[in-house]
Structures are given as C-alpha cells and as structure tokens.
A and B are shown apart, each in its own frame.
Chain A
Amino acid sequence: MKAPFSDYLTSFDWYNLTSRILTTSSREIETALAREGKGGIDDLIALLSPLASQHYLEDMAAISNRLTQQRFGKAIRLFAPMYLSNECNNVCDYCGFSMHNKIARKTLTDIEILKEAGILKQRGFEHVLLVTGESSRKVGVDYLCHALDLLRPHFSNLSIEVQPLAQNDYEELINHGLHAVMVYQETYNQQSYQKHHIKGKKTLFEWRLNTPDRLGNAGVNKIGLGCLFGLTADWRTDALFAGMHLDYLEKRYWKTSYSMAFPRIRPYEGENIVAADLSDKDLVQLYCGFRIFNHELELTLSTRESPTLRENLLPLGVTTMSAGSKTNPGGYASQDDSLKQFEISDERTPEQISSMLKSKGYDPVWKDWDLAYDRSVISHLDNTWTDQSMHTETVLN
C-alpha cells in the first residue's frame, strides 16, 4: 500500500496556509476564475479567501452554476438517511450520540430495518445512506453486512456513514452491496480534533484520516469527504485541507468517485462549542469554490439547512440532497422521539421537495445507480442472471 494521506499531510503547515488564504490578492482570485479552477490547490486557496467572498462571490456563483449544469445537467439526486443505531463508544463534545449523553439507545432489529425501508420505498427513494454511531461491539461489520443483505433487494444504491473500518471490512461490505462510504474528518486541525474528541476510538486522528485510503484500496465506488464546519476557528483552512485530501485521493484512486458535504454545527442537547460561526455567505462560498476547483465533484446538501437557504443553494453547485430526513433510529416508522443526532431545519416531505425542484426547473432524480452494476450481485449469482432488484416485494403489509 502506498503511503497514506497522514504522511502527505505532514508536509503542510496549517498556519502558513491560513496566512496564504487570508492574504490572497485580487489577481490570484481573478486568475483562478479565468482558468476556472484548473490551477489546482493554488486556485482553491484564492477561491476560499475572505477577499473572494467580499468582492467575487457573484462571479463565482455564475461559473459554479454553469459548470454544475454542464456536468450534471438540470438534475438533483435525492437520497434518505436511515439511522440504524445511536449506540456510541465515543465522547465527542458536539454530537447528540456522545456516550455520556443520557439518551435512550437503540439499534434496529431486522423487522424495524424493513419497516423503515418500506416507508422510504413508498416515498420513492432508491438511494439510502445507512448511519450509525460508533460502537463496533454492538454495531459491527456483521451487523452492517446483514443490514445490506436485508436492504439490497429493495434499493438501487446503499451507502454507509459509520465508524472507520479496516480495509478488509470494507471489502467484505462491498461484497454485500455497499456503494459508497461517507467519512467526514470533522476537522483537519489535529489540535482542534483532539480537543473535541475526548474518549473512544474516534480520538485516533490518523486512523480516521487514513480511512479514505483504506476505502480506495478496497475499491469502493464512492468516498464522501467533509468537515464539520465550526469546530475549528480557521474554517477556511479546514476547507482547504479537505480540498487537498480530495486532490490526493483522486490522483491515487482514480476509479473512485467523490462527494463533499459542508455540514455546519447545529444545536443539540448539550453545550454550544462553536469555534467559528459560518454564515450563509460562507456556505455559498464553499459550494461555489469547490465547484470551480473540481468540476466533477458531487456536492451534497442536507436537511440541516433551512428551506429558503436550500432553495437558494440549488443553482450554486449542489448535485445531491436529502429530503424528509429523520436522524433517530426508527424515526420514519415510529413517533419515538429518541434524541436525534442533530436537528432538522428543512422538514418538508420528499414529495414537497420533489415539487419544489420541478418548480425551479430541476429534474428530481430518485435513481442513478443499479444493483446490476455491483460486484456483489455479479459474484453471488449464477451465469443465468436474475436481477434481485426486479423482484421487489412490498415490505409492509
């Protein structure tokens, strides 16, 4: 295996790069815009600068809009998160699932998983993101493989956002139908990372940082990157490091596709630990800046953000969004108010989101993958093909 990203990261100085971002000149920004981000990391530095936000945001928005449409068309892909468990062995000062929080812990049974699946299916979803806390003993690879087996006949695309795993674990999950893995570094500043991650395996900065390398070596279809903006004061530098991580991964694991999300810290049941309060304008800069830097990157927008902001962000680089999300295990099927991982701001139903997209001239795309493309289907079936995805049964009576 080639040297992982953590080795590459040591060649960069956080404060040096922060200084470069903050002292970017107009000429550097104009150069980045003129060559539409093809100058690489130098251009991303310029696009993330305060000066770019002050004077060039509209220009960035226009370019971002055009580039996104050219690559992705007038389509927005829809997905739903399904929380399988809120068990967690970590103590993280920003998260509702943190081990010290006195909340009802729940891990879904097979029946409960299928009930959630039935509701999502009725709503039209084909792409589902399975989410858990981080508790390997209670919600380990076997549980996840089993969940994939249960859900594979019913959905076109299954992804996970769980604890970082070993390469061979990812290989096993891929054989059970896993398409993509979201693994947000939270922050690339190690000092800040250690401050917010107090106990548990998530305190291991480099283990998490090198997860995308393990994923690339395992051959996963897609890797989702991102930071939790607000954890670290120098959020622009955090974004830059996420861009450098993307750049590094694309060159090494060229058969993998990539997505990025820009979650901002939202309130939860606990202390407010925001180090940087990102404005809506900052969020616009992130979407536009990353689109110009990387024309092919999928950019995701969650229901953390308000309806108005989500609609205004649509033309600025977004390619994928969630709708009607529930962030507690069993949240779709029951009225259980077990603590959500974070508060939802856009509570519109998938149908309402779909109507909104159409009214804005977008095609809501529910399905942009097929199980027939997955190694798991090909390797598990005989020479005469049968498409499991075509034999969907109604899950709920």
Chain B
Amino acid sequence: MKDNLDSLTIGDHSFESRLFVGTGKFASGTSLAKTLDACGTQLVTVAMKRANLKQSDSILPHIDPSKYKLLPNTSGVRNAKEAVWVAQMAREALETNWLKLEIHPDPKYLMPDPIETLNATIELSKLGFTILPYCHADPVLCKQLEDAGAAAVMPLGSPIGSNQGLQSREFLKIIIEQARVPVVIDAGIGAPSHACEALELGADAILVNTALATANHPESMGHAFRNAVSAGREAFLSGLGSVTNLASPTSPLTGFLAEN
C-alpha cells in the first residue's frame, strides 16, 4: 500500500488504494472475494438491481465491510427521477450516503445520459449524498457536475465492457487538468496497461469490472491491476519526461554560455 502522504480523499473518506472494483459479471461470490483481496481495493461498487436485500445473494455476503467501502450504483435507471428513487433506497438499505450515479437510457451501449446525470446530481446533492457520477469524457459536463456538488467525476475511457482502453484519452487529459475534484476513470479499462496509463495521465483512480471478472484467472488479474495502478501512480509522481520527436542534447540553446 502507498504511504498515507499519497492517499486519495473523496468526500469524507481517504483511500490508500487507487483501484476501485465493480462486482458484476463474476462467476461466483468466492471468485469475487478472492479477486477483491488480490486487487487490494478499498472501494467496491454494487448494482442495486443485483442486490438482494431480502435473501442471501451472490454479491453482498462476499464483500467484507471491514475491508471494503460499499458504493451502490444505479445501473439500470434511465432518468434522474428513477436514479433519485434508487439512491434513497440504497441509502436506507445499505446505510451509506455514497452513490455511484449511473444513468444510461441506452441499454445497448450503456452510454451515460449527460442531462439526466446532471439533474440527478443537483437533486442528490441537496439530499446530502456523496455522489460519484459516471459520465462521458466531456470536460464541460465534468465541470458542471463539480459545480453541482459531485464529490468526484467518473468519465469513461471507452464503452462499458468493451475493454478498449482510454479511447477518450485527449478529453480525459483536459478533464484531469481542469478538475477540482478527484477524477476516477471508469469503463472500458481492459488491461493493466490501460490502468497504468490512466494513472500516469494524472487520474486519481480507476474503476475496473469486466477485465477482472471475465479474465481466465481473475485473482491473478487482480494482482496485475494492483501493480499497474501502483506503477502508474508512482510514474506520475516521479514526473514523466516530455514526449518529443527530436533528439535532445543537454543544453541545445544555452550551452554556449558555459563555453564563454
């Protein structure tokens, strides 16, 4: 784990791990639990539509509340009204103000609805939620979500489940540069190299689900992602050299001063 000097603060909580994990698509609760442990994560998301609050289900019993902070998500809702409703249900049932706001009226590509997401953030902020909204990599939208009270923003790297990596890279750079709240890159991270790149860019954290759950060996993949996130963060803090096409002598323009 990183030392506390580099911990990530979102809302009222600090995290040492910058790897957040989604809990859908796993083959079993046991596989999920082992993978979470391997990831070293401290924040996991749970879709409220999957959470079975009345009977034992395959997800919640495998998430140790002493190790992981639970982040309910509203995946499946199609508009702000439904999202607010589900958020309130999640708060009462799971006893947390934290919420990953996920509104995608398009069930095919699961693209987030920017208007409904912003409206829901405004409403949920008034209701005292700690909101982490999932959104497109739209720099203006991210600033609007910030102003509306989001505790962090979660712009997508590429479509959910696509494993395509940081297709929205150029926009993510702008978002990271302009953000006053943590930026958690979510969706489309398909490989540890994508995760490393995200942290190198300066993202504060990433969220991964499909790449872990559908790996041949999810636990091993969890280790790989953990290492990748750590490497990317360390690289960012170390200050990556600038990328250039030119050969660069040590003092190309002012070297003559030393000679004189």
Chain A interface (Cβ within 8 Å of chain B)?
69-75, 124, 126, 156, 250, 254-257, 296, 358, 361-370, 372-373, 375, 377-378, 385, 387, 389-390, 392
* Structural contact, A369 and B49, CB atoms closer than 8 A: yes
Q: Are A256 and B213 in contact (CB-based, < 8 A)?
A: no
Give per-residue flags for B46-78: 1 if the beta carbon is below 8 A from chain A beta carbons, else 0.
001111111101100000000000000000111
Mark B160-176 against chain A: 1 for CB-CB distance below 8 A, else 0: 01110000000000000
Q: How far is the CB of B75 from chain A (nearest CB, A)?
A: 10
Interface string of B91-127 (1 = CB under 8 A from A): 0110000000000011111000000000000000000
Asked if residues B108 and A74 are in contact (CB atoms below 8 Å), the reply is no
Interchain CB contact under 8 A, B25 and A296? no
Is B14 located at the chain interface by the 8 A CB criterion? no
CB <8 Å contact, B214 and A70: yes
Of the four ranges (under 10, 10 to 19, 20 to 34, 35 or more), the interface on chain B belongs to 35 or more
| B contact residues vs A (CB 8 Å cutoff) | 24-29, 48-55, 57-58, 76-78, 81-82, 85-86, 88-89, 92-93, 105-109, 161-163, 210, 213-214
Contacts of A250 in B (CB 8 A): 108
The reply to whether B78 and A255 contact each other, CB–CB distance below 8 Å, is yes
Chain A residues, CB < 8 A from B29: 363
Contact B108 A362 (CB under 8 A): no
Contact of B54 (CB < 8 Å), options: A365, A373, A392: A392
Shortest beta-carbon distance, B114 to chain A, in Å? 15
A390/B85 in contact, CB under 8 A: no
Q: Is the CB of A373 within 8 A of B108?
A: no
Which chain B residues border A368 with CB–CB below 8 Å?
Answer: 49-50
Chain A residues near B93 (CB, 8 Å)? 387, 390
Residue of A nearest to B54 (CB): A392
Chain B residues closer than 8 Å to A366, beta-carbon distance: 52, 57
Residues of chain B within 8 A of A369, CB atoms compared: 49, 76
Q: Which of B24, B52, B77, B106 contacts A373 (CB 8 A)?
A: B77
**A to B CB contacts below 8 Å, 26 in the list:** A70-B162, A70-B163, A73-B210, A74-B26, A254-B106, A255-B78, A255-B107, A257-B108, A358-B28, A361-B27, A362-B27, A363-B26, A363-B27, A366-B57, A370-B48, A370-B86, A372-B48, A373-B49, A373-B76, A373-B86, A377-B85, A378-B85, A385-B92, A387-B89, A387-B93, A390-B53
